[in-house]
């Protein structure tokens, strides 16, 4: 589906005519916002596992729990919670993302439907598994470094 963008040129006109032009522009913007275009807000997700990881880190850092859930499968969300089940998810995710953001991610295997990566020191690598769902890539499992 494509979204056609409409530009409206409004020249300086008398005040009454300017109000009409502004109203038309507002109506066009309203209609465009109601178009059925996949966006992040409507549930569309990430096109690559790398985008999914960057978006997930940002959501965790900001404390946006609904966005964290949107960027993970139920299995992935549960695996993140195992880091410290007694801690508030918002606090836990912020703490984890702050540390994880300092580590480079090493992508081990990226296929059409699954991707695996490692991060952290090689002696205690954390594992990441991503899956492609109907709406894009999501974290399916995190495993702590052993």
State the CATH number of the domain containing residue 108.
Answer: 3.10.450
Q: pLDDT exceeding 90 applies to what percent of the chain?
A: 64
In a shared domain, residues 59 and 121:
yes
Q: Where residue 16 falls among pLDDT bands split at 50, 70, 90?
A: low
Q: Which two tokens stand for residue 22?
A: 């502004």
Q: Is the pLDDT of residue 1 over 70?
A: no
In a domain? residue 42: no
In a shared domain, residues 139 and 82:
yes
In a shared domain, residues 110 and 60:
yes
Looking at 73-137, list the stretches that DSSP marks H as alpha helix, in order from N- to C-terminal side.
Answer: 74-81, 89-100
User: Domain residues for 17?
Assistant: 1-37
Kind of pairing between the strands at 114-119 and 126-133: antiparallel
Segment 104-117 shows an average pLDDT of: 96
Into how many domains does the chain fold? 2
This prediction has a pTM of 0.69
In a shared domain, residues 76 and 22:
no
> In the prediction, which pLDDT does 9 show?
47
In a shared domain, residues 67 and 139:
yes
pLDDT tens digits, one per residue of 73-109: 999 999 999 999 999 999 999 999 999 999 999 999 9
In a domain? residue 136: yes
In a shared domain, residues 24 and 83:
no
In a shared domain, residues 66 and 115:
yes
Angle at 34 between CA 28 and CA 36, to 5 degrees: 125
In a shared domain, residues 67 and 138:
yes
Contact between residue 111 and residue 87 where contact means Cβ atoms under 8 Å apart:
no
In a domain? residue 105: yes
Question: Mind spelling out the 3-state secondary structure of 45-74?
Answer: CECCHHHHHHHHHHHHHHCCHHHHHHCECH
In a shared domain, residues 130 and 83:
yes
In a shared domain, residues 64 and 131:
yes
The CB density around residue 94, as the number of other CB atoms within 10 Å, is: 14
The CB density around residue 85, as the number of other CB atoms within 10 Å, is: 9
């Amino acid at each position: 589906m494509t979204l056609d963008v409409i530009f409206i040129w409004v020249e300086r006109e008398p005040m009454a005519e300017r109000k009409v032009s502004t109203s038309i522009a507002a109506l066009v913007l309203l209609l465009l916002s109601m178009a059925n275009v996949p966006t992040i807000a409507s549930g569309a997700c990430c096109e690559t596992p790398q985008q999914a990881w960057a978006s997930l880190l940002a959501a965790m850092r900001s404390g946006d729990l609904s966005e964290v859930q949107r960027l993970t499968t139920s299995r992935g969300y549960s695996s993140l919670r195992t880091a410290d089940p007694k801690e508030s998810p918002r606090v836990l995710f912020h703490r984890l993302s702050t540390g994880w953001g300092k580590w480079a991610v090493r992508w081990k295997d990226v296929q059409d439907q699954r991707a695996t990566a490692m991060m952290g020191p090689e002696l205690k690598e954390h594992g990441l598994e991503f899956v492609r769902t109907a709406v894009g890539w999501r974290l399916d499992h995190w495993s702590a470094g052993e």
